[in-house]
Amino acid sequence: MYDGELYVWRNLMEDGTQCLGDEQYLKAEKYYVQGLLKAYELAVPEIVAFTLRLLATVRVRLGNLEFAEEGFKEALHICQEIQNAKGMAEAWAGLASISVKKRRFREAVEEYEQAIAVYPESSPQLRLGMLYADLGQVHTVLEEWTRAKSAYSQALELCRLYGFPKGEAELDVLSGELCFRLGQKTEALKNLKHACQLFAQIPDMIALSTTLQYLALFYFDQNEMLLAFECQQRAVTLCLKFDTKEVFSESSYFLSKIEQTLKNFQEARYYLELSIHFYPEQNLDLALRYQSFGNLLFLSMDFAKSELYYLKALSLFESNHDDHRIGEVYEALALLKGIREQNEGQFSFQDKSEDMSKLHWEFTLEALIHLAEFYEKHHNYRDALECYWKALKRGRDAEVATDWIENRVQNVSKRLRRKK
């Protein structure tokens, strides 16, 4: 009779766990409730505690946090009475997960520390590594960077010792982010590069693409644009093969920014067009892409198309009530209007025999200066500097006085360094 009851309980738990893995949480809950009733009939404390923990876990997924908390507490009490260390550790971890959901982060730290303290050496050590990783994430939320780094280091070492390269790589990424926050940039770079190597070996191309973008962002922040370009170009290639349209769009958008910084404006335009084409939503992110494309077209002196994309951006900004961006676009449109009117006036009143190419140089130079001033006013010093540099080149080519432009380049460069 006992063996038959145990067989029924085991089948219920297996069915519930299958549903849990398939994210069919309501079905999983039904199986676990039936399993718990059967566990109480069996009256074996270990079986009751185990079933309570699984039922509580699925209730966390369903958002039934109060019932889940009661279940973990009851399981903890049973495991403490029978001195089941592994069961205690899992119950403490379950309670910590609820504290995180309820944003009780200090309690979560204490509960994860309790789970780690009682975790037995004879149990799978990779699970202990996961507990350290979860503890590190809570310390990160609390902005306790040094403690978070220590927890991640413990988790990473366990993954390395017990042969879990995917976990090791993920922890390398988390550690790299933390090292960057702590100003330990050499160590951050080492962690991110090692994560890329591991993801390539596994292979996990989606994770590799994401990590390459972290690496590109790191190089971008350090003003090492060629290295940023190499990493981001690889990431974009991988995104196209293995990831979603939205991720590919985001990757192309960042690559466009790097190309702009490298003054490769045609390439920047190409990747920004790709980003717009593949972006799936009509929202603020698409509006920002339209605005950036309008800026690029402005730099190319394609004012008609620039106006078109500014208007597209304006429509989305207005529908999302983004007053700051709306103001920026209106200023850009006013700038375009002023330049057009000035251009028309010059061509109307200039002597027809005048060298039109010289007039065009003067016009484009003034347009670039206006755009640079616009960026500078909005504290976008990197783009302002790009426009001033381009204006300086055009001024020198046109053989006009450029001392005042050089002074602006120096002033904006100083502001950009202070901002960084």
What class is the 1-114 domain?
mainly alpha
Q: Indicate whether 105 pLDDT > 90.
A: yes
Q: Indicate whether 348 pLDDT > 60.
A: no
Q: Indicate whether 362 pLDDT > 70.
A: no
What tens digit of pLDDT does each residue of 211-250 get? 999 999 999 988 899 999 999 999 998 888 877 788 888 8
Mean pLDDT for 4-13 is: 88
Q: How far is 47 from 24, CA to CA, in rounded Å?
A: 23
* Confidence tier at 99 by pLDDT (50, 70, 90): very high
Q: How far is 363 from 373, CA to CA, in rounded Å?
A: 16
Choose between 167 and 336: higher pLDDT: 167
Query: Would you give the DSSP letter of residue 243?
Result: S
User: What is the pLDDT, as a whole number, of residue 383?
Assistant: 72
User: What is the pLDDT, as a whole number, of residue 133?
Assistant: 96
* Confidence tier at 347 by pLDDT (50, 70, 90): very low
User: What is the pLDDT, as a whole number, of residue 134?
Assistant: 95
Q: Indicate whether 132 pLDDT > 50.
A: yes
Q: Indicate whether 2 pLDDT > 70.
A: no
Work out the percent of the chain whose per-residue pLDDT is above 90: 52
Q: Give the least confident one: 279-288, 328-337, 339-348.
A: 339-348
Cβ atoms 157, 172 nearer than 8 A: no
Choose between 307 and 128: higher pLDDT: 128
- Nearest CA-CA partner of 92 in 104, 81, 82, 79: 79
Mean pLDDT for 15-29 is: 93
Cβ atoms 188, 218 nearer than 8 A: yes
What is the residue-averaged pLDDT of the chain? 86
Choose between 382 and 145: higher pLDDT: 145
Choose between 96 and 323: higher pLDDT: 96
Q: How far is 318 from 346, CA to CA, in rounded Å?
A: 35
User: What is the pLDDT, as a whole number, of residue 384?
Assistant: 78
Domain ranges for the chain: 1-114, 350-420
Cβ atoms 94, 72 nearer than 8 A: yes
Buried b (16+ CB within 10 A) or exposed e, 192-224: bbbbbebbeeeebbbbbbbbbbbbbbbbbeeee
User: What is the pLDDT, as a whole number, of residue 69?
Assistant: 94
Peptide bond just before 280 cis, omega within 30 deg? no
Q: How far is 127 from 134, CA to CA, in rounded Å?
A: 11
* Confidence tier at 343 by pLDDT (50, 70, 90): low
Cβ atoms 279, 239 nearer than 8 A: no
Q: What is the chain's Cα-based Rg? A: 30
Mean pLDDT for 316-328 is: 84
What tens digit of pLDDT does each residue of 34-56 get? 999 999 988 899 999 999 999 99
Q: What is the pTM of this model?
A: 0.72
Q: How far is 73 from 66, CA to CA, in rounded Å?
A: 11
What tens digit of pLDDT does each residue of 138-156 get? 999 999 999 999 999 999 9
Mean pLDDT for 264-275 is: 90
Choose between 130 and 263: higher pLDDT: 130
User: What is the pLDDT, as a whole number, of residue 412?
Assistant: 79
Query: Would you give the DSSP letter of residue 164?
Result: -
Alpha carbon separation from 233 to 192, 210, 238, 259, 317 (Å, rounded):
17, 12, 9, 10, 30
Mean pLDDT for 304-327 is: 85
